[in-house]
Structure 1
Amino acid sequence: MPDEDTKQTWCQLVVNTSNFLAEQPQSRAADAILPSINRAWTEEEKHELIEAFGHKKRTNLAKSGIKCLLLGFEGDRTQADVIFLCRLLDLIFTHFSNDNDRKKEKYVVKADAIATLCRITRKRVFLTVDVTDEPAIDPYLDELLWKLMHSIGLKDSRVNLKVRMGGLVTPMCKLFVRKDELPEAFLPFFIKASRSPRNGQAIGRHEGFMQRLMAKIKMLDPSDQTPQVLLLDKHLQLLFFTLKNKRTRTHLLRENICKYLLEVLRRHLAASSNSRPTRLLSSLFGTFDKSLSAAHTEVVIGTIAILRLLSNFKKAREELKNLQVLEICSRELKEFWSDEWKTGPKARIVDSLSALCLRCMSPLPYPLETRRFPVDFPLPTATPSTPGGHGRVRNSSSINISFDNGRSSDEDNMDEEDEAFVRDDDEDGKEGGASDDDEGKDDEETNGALPKTTRLNPQQLAKYAPFFVENEQGTLQPTFSMMYQTNQETWRTTCEKTRHVMPIHHHLPIEMFNTPTRVREKTAKTTNNMKKMIIEELDKPERSTNNQVIFDLDTAAFDGLPGPELPFPSANVKLDTSKDLQFDSRFESGNLRMVVQVAPTHYELFLSPDVNQLRDHYQWFFFQVSNMRKSVKYTFEVVNCLKTSSLYSQGMQPVMYSMMEAANGWRRTGENVCYFRNLYINENEEKKNLEEQKKKKYYYSIRFNVTFQNTGDICYIAYHYPYTYSFLNSSLCLLRKRKQEGVYCREDVIGHSLAGNPIKMLTITTPASAADIANREVIVLSARVHPGETNASWIMQGILENLLCRQSNEMYRLRETFVFKIIPMINPDGVINGSHRCSLAGIDLNRVWDRPNEALHPEIFACKAIIQYLCEVVNKKPYVYVDIHGHSKKWDYFVYGNNAADSWRADDLVDVLGTGQLEEEQHLALPRALEVTCAGRFNASECRFNVARAKESSARVNVWRQFGVATSYTLESTFCGFHKGQNSGYQINTSDLKEIGRDLLHSFLEMNKN
């Protein structure tokens, strides 16, 4: 492609198209286009059409660029005109999609192609529905329009909102009700639009829609032709999303929808398994149609998802039980769905049938729903003069509450049943892709006002000057202030200096953290775990209401017990035969509130909430178990998790540390691990508004079996490899002692947490004069803002070990080239007290970076001040800022960055093909470097660069937007393992996590090459 448009020789088709767009509709310029409407375009013509109309306006053309092309649709265009414009738009978008040119693809989306197509399609649908002269309608145009709507809609995160605001919902319903023959792409797009709860409700309420839908389903159901069965699957998807409307659901329940769906399920179950006797003969003689079986399988999965949705409601659940759904599912699981189905849709059927059984069992009241958690922390009051102050902490972050309700970065807001209908080409539920969460009023406009942010004034910033003394004094003088003070501390002394709110009964052994986990452990088998669990549950007698409470933190928390060191168990330890297993979590980072014994070897575990939490966060667990017997299979079930899915259902295992086998360190443990929605329901939550009053809270279980190897052992079991605040302090002391000659390391306390724990920052570089330091770029790294993401601390441990203690050319160059400012643990209080996501303020600290409150969020207040001082006083933007996190639903590790062209706010869109091209490319600097330095572990396909409004108050987005740091990232690491490279199929361990830290450091050198 030439550098200047003036050198471009445009073909005649491009010139005619430009003239056509420059003239008014129905002008004579259209005559020049007519011959090209139905003919095939040459490759040269295609190339020049894409270059002329695919992105920016081009010089030497009267009209060009994607915006001009979309504007050409407006007005009273003939069918032939619209066909030509659709062909051109389809050519452009398909080309960018096939070439994986995300930048230009997004440019088309940002130009609001969907809104334009919605207007054209709306007119077209009314014409199609009401026309009496069929030959006057060109079906080719309808196919083109719906194809474009679907393909572009897959890439537009706001497509459902645009469909609703463009008035297209009602016309689509009319088309579905009145026409037998529909364009091929209509149903996929209609289904996508119905995913939005508001759209789905509107569709279900449309007059005659449900009757027409059920008539089509009943007509397609008996067919054994693959296209018809696939069409049935699409109609079942529509049924699922429209059934979320209460009025629609009530009407269909009166029409015996449950009975009919069970009949559909039985018919297609029989047709989907080629192991059935009726299919055996055709399978042996090679006449079995695998594509037909796959189509029946999709119908089965969809039907079960609908039945699971219905079973959430008491009337439907009772009807299903009367129809013997438990017996049907149990018989299917035991007789036909054998262990041969390892993965894929067949395995999904087994898990879905198991989940349906659970849904149809009688729900149980959540036993802690009315009990107040006894551990509290009195919060300070924010004064109005304090930046970010809004009074009490429970109202301190309006962004946290109104924008994303405190949601985690790895929560996709997708119902468990919805996942049955997510296809490979569907962006729903993916980070940065389209989702159903388009319903908030804050999303109604794409160029709304930015949230308010705060900055410290020069006087406030002055107190942070001591943390940058290297800029005035250099780093030639060694730092002794902290080293001699801490070297003499014992592990016990370090632990006792840690300030906690949760009760501490004993201190953890230091060996628990110092023993490396180098053993490679494969991901666990998940085949039929759900099936085994549900059959076991169905065969059990009815649950007793007098189950024994084995451990209750509410009563044990402040029982006055002293905190002695835990005795080391020995082989001749005596069991307490009066009790079964014994539990405890009264140690640093422990999290266990109650244990109930529901069977002789089956224990249900209830996790403690985050202190003062505004929104429930249950995921991290860490507890001690003792008094076990060798070779007995115990079942542990953590019953109050909240996320709808987890890597525990994909091969992840908890970790365990045995005191009798301490030399082995932490190991993955647990057999038959599964994750599922259990029977507990919380109906007594504090109601904030009318909508929430209609919702129940469901809980999910992590269930696994453990067979201990030693009688009388003391074992610790955790969600992931623990890393405590006390260990951080001990580790920093040891690393400073072991550090290489010629390494400058200064440890500063930049602030204190709410409980008074020091927030530490390390400055690492090589000894140099102030003039040399002035020439070095600064890299800022932080971790552990979310306490439950312990993998972030192990990555940070790898960073520190390499920077301070590793003798290699790469590390020498890094220290010579950069000054590192490292905040290894942002949220010490949350870590110490066993929280999953919050500080003692009870909120997600990664949602207050826009307006941190010095009294309520001192951790973020100090961290943000460090970056502001660097930018505004030192006059150096960070070369790169990385905030390290863990992701509970994805594999490998990857980054999230900020691309202005992919922002919720239209004003952020830079001219990526002109003067802004350099800035647009900067957000790719780190991922490109990571692809070079560690392609075997880094997963570039999981990286996302969208800027969502809900994340404006996060570290990544705020550092980018408020301080202009284009290379601001969140690094996300899996809790589970790897899906690529030589590590594929293995679970991650602490050695892997440390290597990720080393990978990250190497990537900074790679970035510096360019």
Structure 2
Amino acid sequence: VKGLVVNGLAFDADFDSGNCAKVEAVDAETDFNIWTSPDCMGQPHETPFRTWFYFSVQGFRKGTTLSFHVQNMNPQGKLFKHDMRPVWRSLPSKPTWDRLLYPVVTTGSKAEDNFVLHFKHTVSSPAADVLFFAFSYPHGYNECLLRLARLDALFSREPVVEADCLDASSLCISPQPGASASSHCGATIVTPRAGGPGLQPANAATDGIPAQADSATGACEGGSALSSDAIGKLIEQAAAAAAAAELPEAPSGVYYRRELLTHSLCGRRVELVTLSGSNGMLDCTEEPIAGLFPGSGERPRQFEKKRVFFLSARVHPGETPASFVFNGLLEFLLREKDPRAKRLRELYVFKLLPLLNPDGVFFGHYRADTLGLNLNRCYLEATLERHPTVFAALQVLKQLSSRGVLEFFVDLHAHANKRGCFIFGNALPFERQVETVLYAKLVAANCLWFDFNGCEFSESGMYHKDRRSGTSKEGSARVGVFKQTDLTFCFALECNYNTGKIVNKLQPVQVAANQKHPVSPPPTPPRGAQLKYNPRSWKDVGKAVAIAVLDLRQENGASRLGAEGLARMRSIAAAWVRAEARKASIKAAKSAARRAKRDASDDDDDVDDDDDDNEQEAAAEGGRGPPQTLKEKANAAPAGVSALPRRPSGHLSAGPSSRVPARATVRAAAPTPRTQPVAASAPAPLQRRATAAVADVKLQPPDAAKPPARGASFTAVLARPQAFRPAHCRPAVKIAGRGTVPSDSDLVLRNARPK
């Protein structure tokens, strides 16, 4: 929507990362239905991803309670189950984002495809402000460019600012000493919001969302509403002020280089930042790569005996926590007085790629690019024409790997289902696997919010297929880069949008005696209520990702591990890897046994000629013949026991026997698959189920006054029928053989069969 007035309120989403397809008034004046646009709305490659929303409201009255009902969201039930709330802010009076005060309500279900998110907000802002509401904390394309422009100013570089509705005065940047003021005033305009490959006009009708005119359908109560361009400028000014506050100064002895890696399909910049210490810098530069770095000058310098840490983010545009993790690591590296940051700059070259999907970010997509593609499944088949951003990142990574300097690759994401912050790694040989697990444990040792128990390093996780698209994770960044570089430390780091399961207890920092600058410990989290993640939480994760590298290399002068901490954690990591290997082996053995059992049951269909003759004779005499279907085979009695006719639940039939006392007691074991008895070698869970489902059965003959005749039928009375689980199972038994059964003896029903 753009400049749409409904019930006196002006709605707009035609700005960087905005997403709102339609607004409709409900009964009350301040009650509105909202529709969000799917990725690539109205195009042949439109996707079903409808989660991200971000819109503005003007013309409200202070004290009014606004209610919104998002009608067509994907059912993110696991988020809202744990009290996930959208965020809001008010410009210019309140530039920081906060979660809504009131809990949200959800109705409908995924199965019925009628999920609706209901949330409300009581206005406390001045009437002249612009209110903003979003699914999670936004971080747009222009905001990323403004942060890079801030870095340019800090390091006396000429900034390259490309942003819609942005002029130089919004940068809030003062030149560094020695730099000319005129070098900080350039600004150009990029592709308009409604242009480019795969993009649609703003008024297109799609997916049951009628087209809605941009012209106002009434008068805004607050007077003339701000245009989309003015709203965009307001957002940019707030972003520039935040960048100036979060990046106050440039430390000394830092090498900084910003490059245009390539352009996206819509012509937006894909940036690559090189950051390191000035020590070890060589005269030679990195080699150019064909088709990349258009219009740039010389490549960054090479460094002697320095390894490379490569960090990328936002391949999925709606996963905004990834940008805050990225900013946390960047801000930590630029600390002037932190010895850990200085040591990292001395040891490593950091390659930072802030936006892998700038078009999707700008257009308010949740998961896809402008061609409807999930770029995190294209790393094995990326091309410059169709996937330019992923292709360019891969070429740089392969070049660094061929030089033997690439050591870490971390791709940043957000997660909507699994709570916490955690790492997905690759399955590796034992020694290499121990190192990757150790690194994850070191991140947890330096971060309150990182959950090691949520980490996964399985082989199945490398090849799992998406349920919707059928594409495999083999094409994801962490697996694709690993397959093309054989890199040990190759991870996808995930952060939940909402909250985690645990809060780590961090050990105190062990500061050296000659340490000049004290290292501030993290604030102690409040006790009691469940903690919610915010940008500061995610920035702490980014900081821990960097500190863990120092701990791994035993170069941390302010470590939390102590003197023998790393050796102890490495032994713990090795034990964890062995335990996981045993679990995987047991799981594989069980799977193999199940497959062998299925194969054996299939082989039962192949019988010899004698058996065929007997079965044909039985059929000729009026019998049913051999079981043909799987259901009949499952209900068939084992060898040596004749089949029984079905009886009502709770009845058993006794076959030929010498003499069965009137009060014989039978204990019925739990029903087991394929009529097999529960053997002593059965898996422990099955044995436990069999023991727990025991019921007393009493046999009552037709005439208790005289002994029953051979072959007589008995009625079975279940003394404890509630013990049978599941309820639809029918116990049945055939007592075969000769001889008497002693009074009050225990018999096991070995042929309890499912219905």
Shift of 1:677: 2.5
Is the 2:256–2:275 contact (alpha carbons within 8 Å) kept by the matching residues of 1? Answer: yes
Cα distance in 1, alignment partners of residues 425 and 106 from structure 2: 31
Partners of 1:883 and 1:971 within 8 A in 2: yes
SS at 2:303 equivalent: helix
Q: How far did 1:988 drift?
A: 1.6
Cα distance in 2 for partners of 1:804, 1:749 equals: 21
1:245-300 deviations in whole A, cap 9, x for unaligned?
A: xxxxxxxxxxxxxxxxxxxxxxxxxxxxxxxxxxxxxxxxxxxxxxxxxxxxxxxx
| Alpha-carbon contact 1:620-1:836 (below 8 Å) kept | yes
Give 2:463's match in structure 1, choosing from 926, 942, 948: 948
Greater share of residues in helix: 1
2:107, 2:382 → 1: CA distance?
Answer: 37
Q: Distance in 2 between matches of 1:1008 and 1:643?
A: 44
> Residues 869 and 660 of structure 1: is their aligned pair in 2 closer, same or farther, counting only changes over 3 Å?
closer
In structure 1, the partner of 2:408 is 880
| In 1, Cα distance between equivalents of 2:150 and 2:19 | 28
Query: Relative to 1, partners in 2 of residues 1:711 and 1:802: Cα closer, same or farther, differing over 3 Å?
Result: closer
1: distance between equivalents of 2:112 and 2:264?
32
1:837 CA drift (Å): 0.9
Partner of 1:302: none
Is 2:18 the partner of 1:590?
yes
Which position in structure 2 is the counterpart of 1:221?
Answer: none
- Is residue 660–residue 710 contact of structure 1 (8 Å, CA) maintained in 2? no
Deviation at 1:614, TM superposition (A): 4.5
| Aligned pairs (5 A) from 1:616-631 | 616-631=48-63
Residues 836-869 of structure 1 show CA distances to partners (whole Å, capped at 9, x for unaligned) of 1111121111010010021111000100111111
Q: Does the CA contact (< 8 Å) of 2:38 and 2:47 recur in 1?
A: no
* CA shift for structure 1 position 733: 1.9
Query: What is the aligned counterpart of 1:723 among 119, 136, 139?
Result: 139
Corresponding residue of 2:267? 756
**Stretch of structure 1 that moved more, 972-981 or 739-748:** 972-981
What whole-Å deviation, never above 9, does each CA across 1:130-173 have from its counterpart, x for those lacking one? xxxxxxxxxxxxxxxxxxxxxxxxxxxxxxxxxxxxxxxxxxxx
- Is the Cα–Cα contact under 8 Å of residues 649 and 674 in structure 1 kept in the other structure? no
Q: Which amino acid aligns with 2:84?
A: M
> Counterparts of 1:810 and 1:862 in 2: how far apart (Å)?
31
Tell me the residue number matched to 1:615: 47
User: AA paired with 1:899?
Assistant: A
Which residue of the partner structure matches residue 366 of structure 1? none
Q: In the comparison of the two structures, how many residue pairs are matched?
A: 403
Moved over 4 A (4+): none
Counterpart in the other structure of 2:69: 637
Q: Which of 548, 553, 556 is residue 1008 of structure 1 equivalent to?
A: 553
Q: Given the alignment of the two structures, is residue 919 of structure 1 paired with residue 432 of structure 2, yes or no?
A: yes
Which of 362, 381, 384 is 1:851 aligned to?
381
User: Are residues 822 and 644 of structure 1, via their aligned partners in 2, closer, same or farther at CA, if it must alter by over 3 Å?
Assistant: closer
CA gap of 1:896–1:773, structure 2 versus 1, over 3 A, is same
Query: What is the TM-score normalised by the length of structure 1?
Result: 0.38
Measured after TM superposition, the shift of residue 889 of structure 1 is: 2.4
Inter-partner Cα distance in structure 2 for 1:699 and 1:766: 54
Specify which of 33, 37, 45 is matched with residue 604 of structure 1: 33
Structure number having the greater strand percentage: 2
Q: 1:785 aligns with which of 292, 306, 315?
A: 315
1:11-30 paired onto structure 2 within 5 Å = none
Indicate conservation of the 8 Å contact 2:78/2:417, yes or no: yes
User: Which residue does the alignment assign to 1:899?
Assistant: 427
- In the alignment, which of 809, 828, 841 is matched to residue 358 of structure 2? 828
SS at match of 2:15: coil
* Per-residue Cα deviation, 1:37-56 (whole angstroms, up to 9, x for no partner): xxxxxxxxxxxxxxxxxxxx
The residue that corresponds to 1:706 in the other structure is 121
Residues 887 and 972 of structure 1 are in contact (CA less than 8 Å); yes or no, is this contact kept in structure 2?
A: yes
SS of corresponding position for 1:952:
helix
Q: Which residue of 649, 666, 672 maps to 2:97?
A: 666
CA apart distance, 1:805: 4.0
Task: Give CA deviations for 1:324-353 in whole Å, capped at 9, x if unaligned.
Answer: xxxxxxxxxxxxxxxxxxxxxxxxxxxxxx
> Distance between the aligned counterparts of 1:745 and 1:927, measured in 2?
28
Displacement of 1:697 in angstroms is 7.3
Identify the residue that residue 732 of structure 1 maps to in structure 2: 148
Aligned mates of 1:697, 1:617 — CA distance in 2: 17
Residue 756 of structure 1 aligns to a residue whose secondary structure is coil
CA distance in structure 1 between the aligned counterparts of 2:356 and 2:336, rounded to whole angstroms: 25
2:398 maps to a residue whose letter is: Q
Q: Is the 8 A contact 2:83 2:103 kept in 1?
A: no
* Match in the other structure for 2:481: 959
Deviation at 1:995, TM superposition (A): 1.8
Q: SS of the counterpart of 1:794?
A: helix
SS at match of 1:666: strand
In structure 2, relative to structure 1, the CA distance for the partners of 1:844 and 1:634 (3 Å cut) is: same
Q: Distance in 2 between matches of 1:928 and 1:881?
A: 17
For 2:31 and 2:101, locate their aligned partners in 1 and report how far apart those are by CA, in whole Å.
14
- Aligned alpha-carbon RMSD (Å): 2.3
Task: Output the amino acid matched with 1:674.
Answer: V
Residues 480-527 of structure 1: per-residue CA shift (max 9 Å, x gap): xxxxxxxxxxxxxxxxxxxxxxxxxxxxxxxxxxxxxxxxxxxxxxxx
Deviation at 1:670, TM superposition (A): 4.5
2:252 is matched with which residue?
741
| AA partner of residue 20 (structure 2) | L
Q: Which moved more, 1:981-990 or 1:946-955?
A: 981-990
Structure 1 distance, partners of 2:534, 2:336, is 20
CA 1:806–1:606 in structure 2 vs 1: closer, same or farther (change >3 Å)? farther
How far apart in 1 are the matches of 2:361 and 2:70? 20
| Percent identity of paired positions between Structure 1 and Structure 2 | 29
Q: Secondary structure at the match of 2:324?
A: helix
Q: Does 1:986 align with 2:543?
A: no
Which of structures 1 and 2 has the bigger CA Rg?
2
Supply the distance in 2 between the matched residues of 1:794 and 1:1008 (Cα, whole angstroms): 25
Cα pair distance change 1:795/1:661, threshold 3 Å: same
Report if aligned partners of 1:627, 1:711 keep a CA contact under 8 Å in 2.
no
**Structure 1 residue aligned with 2:229:** none
Query: How much does 1:806 deviate?
Result: 4.1
Give the drift of 1:625. Answer: 1.1
Q: Give the distance between the partners of 1:651 and 1:967, measured in 2 at CA.
A: 34
Do the aligned partners of 1:735 and 1:804 also contact (CA within 8 Å) in 2?
Answer: no
Contact 1:895 1:927 in 2 (8 A): yes
- Residue identity opposite 2:440 in structure 1: P
Question: Cα distance, 1:644 vs. partner?
Answer: 5.1
SS at match of 2:26: strand
The TM-score with structure 2 as length reference comes to 0.51
CA distance in 2, matches of 1:605, 1:646: 21
Conserved? CA contact 1:622–1:716, under 8 Å: yes
1:770 aligns with 2:298: no
Pairwise CA distance, 1:711: 6.0
The one-letter code sitting in structure 1 at the alignment partner of 2:123 is F
Letter of the 1:605 counterpart: I
Which deviations, in whole Å up to 9, do the C-alpha atoms of 1:347-387 show, x marking residues without a partner? xxxxxxxxxxxxxxxxxxxxxxxxxxxxxxxxxxxxxxxxx
Gaps of 5+ in 2: 155-248, 284-301, 465-471, 504-523, 555-565, 567-755
Render the CA deviation track for 1:115-142: whole Å, top value 9, x for unaligned.
xxxxxxxxxxxxxxxxxxxxxxxxxxxx
1:998 aligns to 2:509 (yes or no)? no
* Change in 2 beyond 3 A, CA 1:931/1:993: closer
- Contact 1:930 1:999 (8 Å CA) reproduced: yes
Tell me the residue number matched to 1:932.
445
CA contact (8 A) 1:677 1:698 kept: yes
Q: What's the secondary structure of 1:727's corresponding residue?
A: helix
Partner AA of 1:702 in structure 2: L
Given the superposition, is the C-alpha separation of residues 763 and 632 from structure 1 closer, same or farther in structure 2, using an over 3 Å criterion? same
Question: Is 1:867 matched up with 2:413?
Answer: no
Find the partner of 1:968 among 475, 482, 490. 490
